[in-house]
A and B are shown apart, each in its own frame.
Chain A
Amino acid sequence: MTRRSLGAVVANSIVWGYAFLILGPTLWVLSNAFKYKIDIITGATFSPFTWINFQELLFSRQSDFLMNLFNSAVIGVASTAIVIVIATMAAFTLVYLEVKPWVRWALLGWALLFHMLPNLTFVGSWYLMYSSVGLHGTYFAVIMTHAVQNLPMALFLMISFVGALPRELIQAARMDGCTYAQVFWRIVFPLVRGGMIAATALTFIFSWSDFAIALTLTSRDTMTVPVAIATFAQEYDIRYGEMAAGTLLSIMPALVLILIGQNFIVRGLLAGAVK
């Protein structure tokens, strides 16, 4: 065996080992979604197939899972829309209008710092804030908080997409008689659409999978999927099967979004603009 192929074998093994570490438990959890409770508890690898967990989760009287899905969707869509609109426009302003450099750095630094601190540092304050104005447990509270939480990341992404547009393109549009607003809508917006879709996918997934904020700020009526799944584990009864089924269902939207997002981040969208 040559040295080179030995290296390839080692590298491949590491990658496959890592993939197994991540995928193994996930697949095992997901397989639980199709098992009877007794098989899950006894740890049977191969067991009779059943839809019972899905039936319980979606159609049982005690379950609010469909409403939880709806809540997650409302919160995810609304907060993502807010984040993407603000991030794209802010990125254009920061990159192309003559904003003083210290303003840009102060804003980005503040946003990044805020994003780097753990959520749990803030949730207590947010809880108090929303409670004192009577907004605890509303969609508004979670949507706003998710927007604040995810804006820095989206802003960073959009700044790099918008900043990658050649400056002369903007100047050409200015020469052609565009105001800055028209430059944004007619030139920048169509050209960063791929970036916006990528940022949208990421922001939505973050909002969709958030636990800490939703746990603190939602009530029974506005509870999101991750919080609902956590409630399946109770003091005397852990509903493993329904947890697994809920997890499987909640992965789906994120998975679809990642696939769509990937398709849209097309390299070479700008080919032909310059040179």
Chain B
Amino acid sequence: MSNVSLKGLKKSYGSVEVIPSLDLDIRSGEFVVLVGPSGSGKSTLLRMIAGLEAVNDGTVSVDGEDVTERDPGDRDMAMVFQSYALYPHMTVAENMTFALRMRGTGEATISKRLADALRMLSLEGLDQRKPGQLSGGQRQRVAMGRAIVRQPRVFLFDEPLSNLDAKLRARTRIELRGLHDKLGATSIFVTHDQIEAMTMADRIVLLDKGHIQQVGSPREIYEKPRNRFVASFIGSPEINLLEGDIRDEGGTIFFEQFALRGAWPDIQPGPYTLGVRPENFDISRAPLEGGVSLEVGAIEYTGSDTFVFGSSPLGELTVKIDADGQDMADGLRAGETLHVRPAAGAWHLFDASGSRVPEN
């Protein structure tokens, strides 16, 4: 178990700055997910930690030891690649033990670790196959096995699930998290998939254009997004962001026609963005006090929930009708009108710069 510490890490390709300057501490035994849109620098960051990308400035330390200038092979980190990168001319067993042989580990240790890993990943009996003779899921497990047998201080994952089909991906997510817990290792996992980030992470690091937007538990990130970017990146369907003005009417704070009770007594009037997640609406066929009308444009039925996309006087809105409201959803057709109102206490308010306005 090891902690990883990044200080003032910088990376640019020529004049293109990919990572301006980044600090991050990853605790021992933690499962940290780096997530962000493409071009956010998350893969570059992972490769800098691995030593596969040169660092322009700053340090990478493991357990307080500066490894910035060390060869990737001398950092005691193992990486699982998106493409798996299995050696096609070697068998499964040779693939998995290659790193140990390069280090001159004894035969007895090698065969014991190999057997353990094969059992742990249900790859028994496949050890003499070549990667070309395996299915996608099996290759993915061999790639993980190659990392596991090394018993490294840190595991690095570069979108290892993105080549799997949806069902297998969901199952592998759980298996991978289970393995992490069993091995007690420190893991850094890169993905662009927010579901992977939310379900697997102890902490999420949300990146955009090389800047950390927010670091926190999945719950913190979802419930207290620090800015508009975080709010809109996490959550599916996306959070509703409404532009409007805050005004004070005799002690009650109004955002357009919504009355925001309690939360922000000292707020300055002016233009703001109100964020409401689709599941945080009161919905009714009859007009609601302090609500807006919603002309239904499209309806998506997912089994457990129904999402309604429509337009309101404040802009486009997405609202979720959960299982309790299925009766209302049943007869609903495009073109009809619903009435919606943000549920009390489920508002996110962002100021003109996009930062969250803290609740009092």
Contact = CB atoms under 8 A, between A and B. Distances in A.
Do chains A and B interact in one complex? yes
B85 A171 contact: yes
A75 to B, nearest CB: 33
A272 B81 contact: no
Which of B74, B88, B99 has most A Cβ within 10 Å?
B88
Interface string B206-229: 000000000000000000000000
Given A176-B98, A273-B131, A171 B103 contact: no
Contacts of B98: 173, 176
Interface in B29-78: 47, 50-52, 71-74, 77-78
B139 A272 contact: yes
B132 A271 contact: yes
Contact of B79 (A175, A190, A191, A272): A175
A179 B139 CA distance: 25
Given A168-B82, A272-B139, A174 B87 contact: no
A47 interface: no
A270 B90 CA distance: 11
A182 B101 CA distance: 12
A166 interface: yes
Given A168-B83, A169-B87, A172-B85, A272 B72 contact: no
Interface in A224-274: 268-274
B73 A272 contact: no
A270 B134 CA distance: 13
B102 interface: yes
14 contacts: A168-B85, A171-B47, A171-B79, A172-B81, A174-B51, A174-B52, A174-B72, A176-B99, A268-B132, A269-B88, A271-B132, A272-B132, A272-B133, A275-B83
A178 B133 CA distance: 25
A178 to B, nearest CB: 6
A272 B74 contact: no
A177 interface: yes
Contacts of A275: 83-84, 136, 163
A74 interface: no
